[in-house]
Amino acid sequence: MRNFVVLSLMFVSLLAGALDCAAADDASPGAVEAVMDLLLKKGLISREEAALIRQQAALPRKDAAAADAAAPASKPRTPARFSASEADMLRAKLNLIFVKQGVLGADEAEQIAERIGRKWSPGAEDDVIAAPDEEIEYHRTTLPKEGLLADIDQLVLQGLLTGDEAERIKLRLAKKLALERLTNDIDSSLREELDRQVTAKIVPVPEWATRIKIGGDFRLRYQADFFDGDGGGLDAGNGIFVKPDKPTELYNSSIDRHQLRIRARLAVTAKVNDEVDAGIGLATGNTTNPVSTNATLGDTLNKKNFLLDLAYLKWSPLADLTLWGGRFANPWFGSDLVWDPDVNFDGAAFSYRPQLSPTVGMFLTGGAFPIQEIELSGHDKWLFAGQLGLQYRNMEKITATVAAAFYDFENVTGAANAPSRPNEKDWTAPQFQQKGNTLFDIDPGTAIKTAYAAEYRELNFGGSLDLGYWDPLRVVLVADYVRNIGYDSAWVNSLTGHDVKRETEGYQFGIGVGYPETRAAGLWRVLLNYKHLEADAVIDAFTESDFHLGGTNAKGWIVGGELGVAKNTWLSTRWLTTNEISGPPLAIDVFQFNLNAKF
């Protein structure tokens, strides 16, 4: 490498010396020819450039300078006539073309500009253009050589240069271009050699490592839960409630709480081949609550769980078709009216997304998901679901999406135990509940065991309108509606033993304004939503867990915002103020303040 650099510098010096030698007073024709032959054999100059150098060698420096100086002052030169605008354009050309391309010095261009529109005599004002010993400021030449040579000849025709001056300028240009080409070749060779040596010393990355991506996020949250009442007892403000899943315990409905919580998630995806991806994700949380990945701080400094949250294969046999199997993220379009954002799905699903036109696309999603596998029973609990939607997108200015979905839960309704077999139907009780759904006691004895009284076949319609006319700010409108068409009032009344008010609808609408993402300092977004979710509109286990602290039979407002504070770091906050729709009073306000980071 060192020898290559030295040799390259020798060639540069040799070429520069040859060009200087060609302009020297005592240049030997034989020496010049020998140098020219060597440079031609090495491919360092062209034949045209060699001819110009030989031509300069035939005209010694003194004679060249004297030729202009000896031009008789009695024979002044008269340049072509120019209009005022043409003269201005010519002066601009002298600067923009000749000076900025390194052909003329600024003083030389000024001398030529002074000749415009007046008689002048070569050497009369001691203005020898392109003298061999004249040094000018360097500018790299980027325009084609042929065009520059033609421009020089044009100045001669316009009477602004003598023939000798033009030849000296051309020789200067040839010398400059030859040196630039040589330095470019050397620079390229040096880069190639350096890349080769660096590559040889770097341990190559295994091919399999290039197919793996790792990412994750972390959230630190302060949460305050405020209940209606003065906090002085269970009879202040809100009513008294028992926990649906633990009927012998009371649900906190009056004592305000303040908590610090964390959420950590780590995901690894691997490209198995051109069609198949594999993914694994870990998250904080626990194995009894599917709607939260939070870990609450304050358990005697104990360690926290980090559990398998994702494990799937994704196969894309066609450009528009994707299939999932395992445990994967929510595949449905919609808000959190039906599904909490932390809910992931076990089972198998597909998504077909053809593009119907340049602006309209369709999506069809479906799947089967086991909810609870029950040993020694043919009545496992399942979810069968499908969704059909359309999306219109117009040049990033407007994106409109509408979809209809149907979620059919099988074998989730409870069944009462027979007195002779008190525990036989215990499996019909849900493994996890929040609150709000209509329940009944399935235990024939004095104990209380609750299960769902209704069936849940949820018909969901959703839409969003994303407006980008104020780019980069966007305005997003959302709306969602759900109805449980599986609810049978007569059946529910028979199981509960009394008349139950039919409450099977839910809806949500809202607006968001700001940047699409807030992962850089200064980016922001605000939102305002209203939600109304009746008792049996959806299964309470899977709906959003922060609104009314989870479950159904709630209505209220959500206001929030996000603010980027650094790259991939942002603050977010929400205030959720809610009340019950029916039954005893239960007013809950939730305040959340988060510090988020993503990598």
pLDDT digits (tens, 9 = 90+) for 48-95: 666 666 665 554 444 444 444 444 444 677 777 788 888 888 888 888
- Asked if 193 and 275 sit in the same domain, the reply is no
Biggest CA-to-CA distance, the chain: 137
Q: What is the pLDDT of residues 252-261, one digit of tens each?
A: 999 999 999 9
Among 78-87, 95-104, 272-281, the least confident range: 78-87
- Asked if 319 and 257 sit in the same domain, the reply is yes
Among 37-41, 357-361, 517-521, 550-554, the least confident range: 37-41
Q: Which residues fall within 8 angstroms of residue 157, CB to CB, at 6 or more apart?
A: 80
pLDDT of the residue at 47: 72
- Asked if 163 and 214 sit in the same domain, the reply is no
| Total count of domains within the chain | 2
The Cα 91–Cα 99 span in angstroms is 11
Nearest to 173 by CA among 145, 134, 139, 194: 145
- Asked if 223 and 187 sit in the same domain, the reply is no
- Asked if 188 and 236 sit in the same domain, the reply is no
The residue assigned the tokens 């031609």 is 40
Q: What is the pLDDT of residues 214-269, one digit of tens each?
A: 999 999 999 999 998 754 444 457 888 888 878 888 889 999 999 999 999 999 99
Position with higher pLDDT, 34 vs 489 = 489
- Asked if 357 and 447 sit in the same domain, the reply is yes
Amino acid identity at 429? A
Q: Is the dihedral of CA 265, 433, 478, 222 positive or negative?
A: negative
User: Cα–Cα distances in Å, from 265 out to 271, 291, 302, 308?
Assistant: 20, 14, 19, 10
- Asked if 470 and 507 sit in the same domain, the reply is yes
Position with higher pLDDT, 109 vs 500 = 500
Angle at the Cα of 183 (from 182 to 184), degrees rounded to 5? 90
CATH code for the domain of 455: 2.40.160.10
Asked whether residue 321 carries a pLDDT value surpassing 80, the answer given is yes
pLDDT of the residue at 271: 96
Range of the domain at 357: 209-598
- Asked if 181 and 299 sit in the same domain, the reply is no
| End residue of a domain, out of 176, 200, 224 | 200
Asked whether residue 490 carries a pLDDT value surpassing 70, the answer given is yes
- Asked if 121 and 253 sit in the same domain, the reply is no
User: Cα–Cα distances in Å, from 59 out to 47, 124, 582?
Assistant: 19, 22, 108
- Asked if 299 and 194 sit in the same domain, the reply is no
- Asked if 428 and 523 sit in the same domain, the reply is yes
pLDDT of the residue at 102: 85
Provide the β-strand partners of residue 222: 260, 593
H helices, E strands: number in the chain: 9, 21
- Asked if 232 and 101 sit in the same domain, the reply is no
Please give the mean pLDDT across all residues of the chain.
86
Residue 313 tokens read as 């294969």
pLDDT of the residue at 577: 98
pLDDT of the residue at 56: 57
Asked whether residue 3 carries a pLDDT value surpassing 60, the answer given is no
| End residue of a domain, out of 170, 200, 230 | 200
pTM attached to this predicted model = 0.69
Pairing relationship of beta strands 588-598 and 569-580 according to DSSP bridges: antiparallel
| End residue of a domain, out of 141, 175, 200 | 200
